[in-house]
Amino acid sequence: MKIAIVVSTPEVTIQPLGLWGDFEENVGKIAELGYDAIELFVGDPGQLALQDAKDLIRGQGLEISAIGTGLSYTQYGLSFTSPDVLTRKRAVERIERYVELAAELRSNVIIGSMKGMYQTTYEDAWNRLEECLKRCTEVANDLGVYLLLEPLNRYESNIINTFSEAVRLIEEIGSESIRVMGDTFHMNIEEENICKTMRDAEQYLAYLHVADSNRQAPGRGHIDFEAIMTTLREIGYDKFVSAEILPIPDQDVAAKSAIEYLKGLI
Which residues are tagged catalytic? Answer: 150, 244
Closest approach, Cβ 182 to Mn ion, in A, equals 9
Nearer to Mn ion, 56 or 209 (CB): 209
Nearer to Mn ion, 6 or 56 (CB): 6
Query: Is 96 a residue that touches Mn ion (CB under 5 A)?
Result: no
CA dihedral sign of residues 75, 79, 82, 85: positive
Nearer to Mn ion, 209 or 220 (CB): 209
The residue from 244, 246, 258, 262 that contacts Mn ion (CB under 5 A) is 244
The residue from 63, 183, 190, 212 that contacts Mn ion (CB under 5 A) is 183
Q: Rounded to an integer, what distance in angstroms lies between the CA atom of residue 16 and that of residue 42?
A: 10
Q: Binding string to Mn ion for residues 205 to 224, with x set by CB under 5 A, is what?
A: ----x---------------
Query: Is 128 a residue that touches Mn ion (CB under 5 A)?
Result: no
Q: Stretches 115-123, 127-135, 154-162, 240-248: which one binds Mn ion (CB under 5 A)?
A: 240-248
Query: Is 39 a residue that touches Mn ion (CB under 5 A)?
Result: no
Closest approach, Cβ 110 to Mn ion, in A, equals 7
Q: Stretches 138-146, 156-164, 180-188, 226-234: which one binds Mn ion (CB under 5 A)?
A: 180-188
Q: Rounded to an integer, what distance in angstroms lies between the CA atom of residue 100 and that of residue 45?
A: 9
Nearer to Mn ion, 17 or 140 (CB): 17
Q: Stretches 91-99, 132-140, 183-191, 194-202: which one binds Mn ion (CB under 5 A)?
A: 183-191
Q: Determine how many CB atoms are found less than 10 A away from the CB of residue 197.
A: 21
Q: Which residues bind Mn ion (CB under 5 A)?
A: 183, 209, 244
